[in-house]
Structure 1
């Protein structure tokens, strides 16, 4: 091989190594990581689409990408918290709930959100969920290590929610600019 060909191959190899090493940390299709468990963008889309299409509506307001992700971040620890306190929301009941509301084949993520909503509703109606319990649950959720894809916003540990935030490098537009 000639010297220019070797240089081109070396540059291409180095470039490929840099590109692939960078891609490993991006994790395509990742909306968030919660204590090492990935919540995918596909799960967020499925929850948004399926829950928003339910008739009658499961929630008072339609899910946005950030609110759907918030529900997924909160669901698992909340379901566990409620189960530990005697409130159980079963998967089979959640599946039937989805079917009753017009979603014939709900995703696992949607079932998890329905279980979360059901457990919260049961706890509230039985008066087993006090303000102190709510504070404790938010603290448990906030203690999780949550990394959010910036496309969805940022995780606010004080509210245990994903909210939109303007990145520090974005400056407000002024008509004079």
Structure 2
């Protein structure tokens, strides 16, 4: 794999073309992901997917599983990159969404845009060392979360939610 493709590695680069960690009294049945003190609700995923797709960031719409994969990684990626001097502004993300016609962007949607901004900056040659990239990939691969089976399962090595929905579960739309 070439160095330019390897920059942020397979886990992050796959979804970089794209987390709100809502803590509190969310019932397990409405949680898309639970891990440690982090809960991503089905509402976060639904609204994040709708708003992101409506914003015109990509030509093709993305699936809830792709959005969920980014929301799982975002806190770790944003925190790690910020520690390396790579930041992504919440006000700029909100402004970009408003300009795209999303008048009241949800926190999850803002996080998605911040993730994209940070990963794009990090992929600029010379921004991160190979050791920085390896550290980030190790952190993403080591994330321990429980994904609601209707979305699939989180594969840390690939940094994505794999849609392996059992036949008895209704997949999200």
TM-score range, shorter chain: 0.7 to 0.9
Aligned to 1:163: 162
**SS of 1:59 mapped into structure 2:** coil
The structure, 1 or 2, with the larger RCO (C-alpha pairs under 8 Å, 6+ apart) is 2
- TM-score if structure 1 supplies the norm length? 0.73
Aligned to 2:42: 41
Structure 1 residues 62 and 130, CA gap change in structure 2 (3 angstroms): farther
Residue 158 of structure 1 and its aligned partner are, at CA, apart by 1.1
Aligned to 2:149: 150
Gapped runs of 5+ residues in structure 2? 1-26, 169-173
Larger radius of gyration: 1
Aligned to 1:27: 28
Deviations 1:31-52, CA, capped at 9 Å, x for gaps: 0013231100000011100010
Residue 120 of structure 1 and its aligned partner are, at CA, apart by 0.8
Residue 132 of structure 1 and its aligned partner are, at CA, apart by 4.8
Aligned partners of 1:74 and 1:141 also within 8 Å = yes
- TM-score if structure 2 supplies the norm length? 0.74
Aligned to 1:173: none
Q: Distance in 2 between matches of 1:42 and 1:79?
A: 22
Consecutive aligned runs of 4 or more in structure 1 exceeding 6 Å deviation: none
Q: CA RMSD in A?
A: 2.5
Gapped runs of 5+ residues in structure 1? 1-25, 170-177
Aligned partners of 1:152 and 1:162 also within 8 Å = yes
Residue 62 of structure 1 and its aligned partner are, at CA, apart by 1.9
Residue 60 of structure 1 and its aligned partner are, at CA, apart by 5.1
Aligned to 1:87: 86
Residue 130 of structure 1 and its aligned partner are, at CA, apart by 5.2
Deviations 1:99-150, CA, capped at 9 Å, x for gaps: 1121111001111111110111112235414555444222202222210000
Q: Distance in 2 between matches of 1:95 and 1:34?
A: 27
Aligned partners of 2:65 and 2:151 also within 8 Å = yes
Aligned to 1:140: 139
Q: Alignment length, in residue pairs? A: 145
